[in-house]
Homo-oligomer: A and B are copies of this chain.
Amino acid sequence: MSSVNEQAPATRMKAEDRRELVLAAATAVFGERGYFGATTDAVAKAAGVSQPYVVRMFGTKEALFLAVLTRALDRLLGAFRVALAGDGPAHPDGSAAPHRGLGAAYAELLADRGLLLSLMHGFILGSDTEIGACARAGFLQVYRFLREDAGFSADEVHEFLAEGMLLNTLVGIRMAVDYDTDPAARELLDTALPTKAEFLLALEGQRKPQA
């Protein structure tokens, strides 16, 4: 219908660019259906290439998923780092309070549904040997960043992560589809996304175009 989707022999492209394109497509697909629910063929179609090419590019479906997780974590930490960097000058009183900046950065990451949802799917598959190890390492990497680089206290990290997991869940459950019809859903979303509710609703394509 729209965005990423071709059909013909797929215009030639440098492998690195194609890889990034496939990773982006895979992130979307894994985010929607999880590791087991996603198929390499769905990823291939979303990326506009053939299924065997996707598999050969990463070796196995599992390796592809791990690549998606790694890329998502890189993006997450990257966004956090720029938020942290741009936070200092804008803070005249000198004392540390990067919560706002990092929170906003996180909220913006929600724009790519697949990114945080793929991570979330990975988190929940902790029983899987390889995926679990990757997920734990990534989660702890984020923890350490918040604790050490961002200067959060243990309680602050804890609160920040809890907030993040709730947001991920609300996006995953597509709570926004009930925003207009269920008062509880509306209140919950308004509370969880103080000023961002409209923004989130829009990018979920759940709202009529509205005036």
Interface residues of A (CB under 8 A from B): 32-37, 117, 120-121, 123-128, 132, 135-136, 139-140, 143-144, 147, 154-155, 157-159, 161-163, 165-166, 168-169, 172-175, 177-178, 182, 184-185, 187-188, 191-192
Cβ of A127 and Cβ of B166 under 8 Å apart? Answer: no
User: Which residue of B158, B173, B187, B192 is within 8 Å of A192 (Cβ)?
Assistant: B158
Judged by DSSP, the binding face of A is helix
Chain B residues whose C-beta falls within 8 Å of the C-beta of A147 in the assembled complex = 184, 187
Instruction: Report A93 CB to chain B, min CB distance, Å.
Output: 26
- Copies of this chain in its oligomeric complex: 2
Chain B residues whose C-beta falls within 8 Å of the C-beta of A185 in the assembled complex = 136, 140
Cβ of A154 and Cβ of B34 under 8 Å apart? Answer: no
Chain B residues whose C-beta falls within 8 Å of the C-beta of A136 in the assembled complex = 173-175, 177-178, 185
Instruction: Report A196 CB to chain B, min CB distance, Å.
Output: 14
User: Which residue of B32, B163, B173, B187 is within 8 Å of A162 (Cβ)?
Assistant: B163
Cβ of B36 and Cβ of A33 under 8 Å apart? Answer: yes
Cβ of A127 and Cβ of B184 under 8 Å apart? Answer: no
Q: CB-nearest residue of chain B relative to A187?
A: B154
Q: Bound complex: CA of A26 vs CA of B188, how far in Å?
A: 30
User: Which residue of B139, B140, B154, B182 is within 8 Å of A191 (Cβ)?
Assistant: B154
Q: CB-nearest residue of chain B relative to A166?
A: B162
Q: CB-nearest residue of chain B relative to A173?
A: B126
